[in-house]
């Protein structure tokens, strides 16, 4: 996803120089950029189905595996429809600094790029001082953004796994996307967004995706309460093989997530891919070492969790930092997320079932703040902003402001949505249904 620079308020975006066109000339489509973005979009979709579905499905008990898998699949369906109807328009069409407009409601006008058999690229924020000409069709940009809207609410399911009603999950997904995800995406990533104007940067979703989903997961875990029998019954994962396969798919898909956010086949995409790889590796190593020292054994679940923590933390920084900074971010994320998923969770007693907050919320915060500490200016430099985003105390403060804004909005709105749904339709299955397992109770199926 294209991210805004320190000069976002004046319209300087991180685009290759070739992407800029004269104001009255329709931008041309670059076939290489478009091809890479089509691949990246498919990779990001792969992260949710089957990646995240298997990652989470392997970590729950056998009686809840199918229910967990189908949550990710159904959210993919729901989020895609929400994005088509209103989500994309509200997030990325011109509007106010707080929310977009309805010019793309039901994707109205999406075919405007076709003229006399010639397909032209589009301009994000056309008609505003921050207009950013692209080198890809709007349909590809829209679809790429859709895959981010798909995975974000799916990540939240890890916090309320094994106890939320399927019907409530479906309604929650619709409301949360429209009231939490879409506004934050507009604030941070739209050329007219007010958080971008603060000078904060987020290359591929540290705030919009990971902090948003992690904080929402924490709120869900607290409001729904702990699983029945936790601390007394065996809660060990059903099949860690599923989880390892899922984590592996997440790792591969993350190259589309991060390198695709350069919005083109260019040097910045290559650097983002490299920093993504080394940060993931560093996260896995850090979690393994800390766990080994603390418990005497490095676990498979711990190692894959550490790699995901490294991936989460590098997401906001991938296109801003060099490999050395990426390694430091990954190491710190692996160690800090281990602490969050173990000591912190047990200290405060909330049941973040599959560590949605422990890994995504915590890792997102770590990565977003450290982006300001390791940013290398030339990676994001443009003609309008020749210094790019440079590591500094000022940049760290801007990053902290963006993190704080995201947390506050997410906590307030997620709490409000959950409380209303609980009053109207209930959030949690009954104790008897939870004991029997969600596969049979909610779906009438089971793994034999």
Question: What are 228-275's pLDDT values in tens digits?
Answer: 988 888 899 999 999 999 999 999 999 999 999 999 999 999 999 999
What confidence score (pLDDT) does residue 127 get? 84
Domain ranges of the chain: 31-113+122-428
Decide: pTM greater than 0.85. yes
- Could you give the CA distance from residue 315 to residue 358 in angstroms, rounded to a whole number? 16
Picking from 239, 275, 241, 283, the residue whose alpha carbon sits closest to that of residue 255 is: 275
What confidence score (pLDDT) does residue 432 get? 96
pLDDT tens sequence across 409-442 = 999 999 999 999 999 999 999 999 999 999 999 9
Q: Which residues contact 174 (CB under 8 A, 6 or more apart)?
A: 78, 82
- Could you give the CA distance from residue 391 to residue 372 in angstroms, rounded to a whole number? 5
Is residue 128 pLDDT above 90, yes or no?
A: no
Is residue 52 pLDDT above 70, yes or no?
A: yes
Average pLDDT over residues 181-204: 94
Q: What is the mean pLDDT of the chain?
A: 92
Is residue 45 pLDDT above 80, yes or no?
A: yes
Between 21-30, 119-128, 140-149, the lowest mean confidence (pLDDT) is in 21-30
Average pLDDT over residues 49-75: 97
pLDDT tens sequence across 372-382 = 999 999 999 98
Pairing, β 114-115 against β 123-124: unpaired
Average pLDDT over residues 342-370: 97
Helix (H) or strand (E) holding 447, with range, is none
The matching CATH number, chosen from 1.10.10.10, 2.60.120.10, 1.10.3430.10, 1.10.1740.10, for 31-113+122-428 is 1.10.3430.10
What confidence score (pLDDT) does residue 26 get? 60
Is residue 169 pLDDT above 50, yes or no?
A: yes
Q: How confident is the model at residue 20 (pLDDT cuts 50, 70, 90)?
A: very low
pLDDT tens sequence across 320-340 = 999 999 999 999 999 999 999
Is residue 23 pLDDT above 60, yes or no?
A: no
Q: What number of residues does the chain have?
A: 448
Is residue 19 pLDDT above 70, yes or no?
A: no
Q: How confident is the model at residue 116 (pLDDT cuts 50, 70, 90)?
A: low
Q: Tokens at residue 367, please?
A: 């990565």
């Amino acid at each position: 996803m294209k991210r805004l620079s320190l000069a976002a308020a004046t319209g300087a975006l991180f685009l290759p120089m070739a992407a800029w066109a004269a104001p009255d000339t329709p931008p041309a489509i670059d076939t290489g950029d478009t091809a890479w973005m089509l691949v990246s979009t498919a990779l990001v979709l792969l992260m949710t189905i089957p990646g995240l579905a298997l990652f989470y499905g392997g970590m729950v008990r056998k009686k809840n595996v199918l229910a967990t898998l189908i949550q990710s699949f159904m959210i993919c369906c729901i989020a895609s429809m929400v994005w088509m109807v209103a989500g994309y328009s509200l997030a990325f069409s011109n509007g106010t600094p707080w929310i977009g407009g309805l010019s793309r409601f039901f994707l109205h006008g999406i075919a405007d790029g076709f003229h006399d058999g010639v397909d032209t690229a589009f301009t994000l924020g056309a008609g505003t001082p921050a207009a950013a000409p692209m080198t890809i069709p709007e349909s590809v940009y829209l679809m790429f953004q859709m895959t981010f809207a798909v995975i974000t609410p799916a990540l939240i399911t890890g916090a309320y796994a094994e106890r939320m009603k399927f019907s409530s999950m479906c309604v929650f997904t619709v409301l949360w996307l429209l009231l939490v995800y879409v506004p934050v995406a507009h604030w941070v990533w739209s050329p007219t967004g007010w958080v971008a104007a603060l000078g904060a940067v987020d290359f591929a979703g540290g705030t919009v995706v990971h902090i948003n989903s992690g904080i929402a997961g924490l709120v869900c875990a607290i409001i729904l309460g702990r699983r029945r029998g936790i601390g007394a019954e065996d809660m060990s994962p059903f099949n860690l093989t599923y989880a390892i396969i899922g984590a592996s798919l997440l790792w591969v898909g993350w190259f589309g997530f991060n390198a695709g956010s350069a919005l083109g086949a260019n040097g910045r995409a290559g650097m983002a891919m490299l920093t993504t790889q080394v940060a993931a590796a560093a996260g896995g190593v850090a979690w393994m070492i800390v766990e080994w020292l603390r418990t005497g054994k490095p676990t498979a679940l711990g190692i894959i969790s550490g790699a995901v923590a490294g991936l989460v933390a590098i997401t906001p920084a991938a296109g801003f930092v060099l490999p050395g900074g990426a390694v430091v971010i990954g190491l710190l994320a692996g160690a800090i997320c281990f602490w969050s998923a173990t000591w912190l969770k047990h200290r405060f007693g909330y049941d973040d079932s599959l560590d949605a907050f422990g890994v995504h919320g915590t890792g997102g915060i770590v990565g977003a703040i450290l982006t300001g500490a390791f940013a290398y200016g030339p990676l994001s430099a443009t003609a309008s902003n020749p210094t790019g985003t440079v590591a500094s105390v000022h940049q760290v403060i801007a990053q902290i402001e963006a993190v704080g804004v995201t947390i506050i909005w997410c906590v307030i709105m997620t709490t409000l949505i959950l409380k209303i749904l609980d009053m109207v339709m209930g959030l949690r299955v009954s104790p008897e249904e939870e004991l029997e397992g969600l596969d049979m109770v909610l779906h009438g199926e089971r793994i034999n």
